[in-house]
Amino acid sequence: MGIQKTSLLLIDIEKLSKEFIHMKTEAQVLPNKLSELKSVLDIEVKDLDGLKQTLSQHQEGCGKLNQDITNLGTRKTESEERLTQITNQKEYQAAVKEVEAIKFQLEQREEQVKLEEERMSSLEKTVTEQDVIVTGHQKTFDEQQAQVNKLLKGIDSRIGDTQGRIDNLLGELPDSLKKVISKLETNKIFPFTADAQQNHVCGACHMSYPPQLIIDSVKTGDFQQCPNCFRILVPGTWAFETA
């Protein structure tokens, strides 16, 4: 196989490898964004649950107060009935005092209930508002999750296609290069750029090439590896002219 065709193959492989890596990164980043959204949502749900719990504690407290009021009401009625049956002046005065004490307690409880009801109504309003917001955020999250899953499915299929295309191109390479590439990670191919030819610098790691490498490359017109990053240096236009 001519060096020109092999160079083009390597350049294609590099291009596909870059796409491959880009897609792999995208496939990792997408779920990360989603999990950030999820943790924000989790905090909102937790806050809302806390509010609901506070509200139910107030409701419970209010229920107890109302029970007290009912009991006090019964006691008041009983005491007032007893009052009508008492003939003894001293007992009568004591019973009146008892009725007054019950009335005072009743007023206190009613005042407390009123305050509790005001607090609860403000809490209920907050809970309702937060509920709407959190439900909206949950909906947005669900939609984004569905979208991300769809995107990921597409990316997975594109990753598979690209891997297949890379494998096919790799299969066309001369055995000597196949061996070198199989030892390298993906994307360790780098075209021998104009910059590298003129300034003798690796286009990937920017290391200056030893003069011997350039001499060998010019002499043989063959593929070299960067001594530093081990990328394959593909002869560029210069190689085509001299090949």
How many angstroms separate the CA atoms of 223 and 229, rounded?
15
Token pair, residue 53, equals: 């719990």
Shortest distance in whole angstroms from residue 216 CB to Zn ion: 16
Helix (H) or strand (E) holding 214: helix 211-220
Helix (H, G, I), strand (E, B) or coil at 205: coil
- Cβ closer to Zn ion: 23 or 196? 196
Shortest distance in whole angstroms from residue 203 CB to Zn ion: 8
- Cβ closer to Zn ion: 57 or 228? 228
- Cβ closer to Zn ion: 169 or 226? 226
Shortest distance in whole angstroms from residue 9 CB to Zn ion: 20
Binding residues for Zn ion, rule: CB under 5 A, are 202, 204-205, 226, 228-229
Shortest distance in whole angstroms from residue 206 CB to Zn ion: 7
Q: Which residues of 52-77 are buried (b: 16+ CB within 10 A; e: fewer)?
A: eeebeebeeebeebeebbeebeebbe
Token pair, residue 35, equals: 């999990």
Shortest distance in whole angstroms from residue 24 CB to Zn ion: 22
Helix (H, G, I), strand (E, B) or coil at 186: coil
| 83, 96 contact by CB (below 8 A) | yes
- Cβ closer to Zn ion: 202 or 232? 202
- Cβ closer to Zn ion: 151 or 194? 194
Q: How many residues does the chain have?
A: 243
Token pair, residue 83, equals: 């009052």
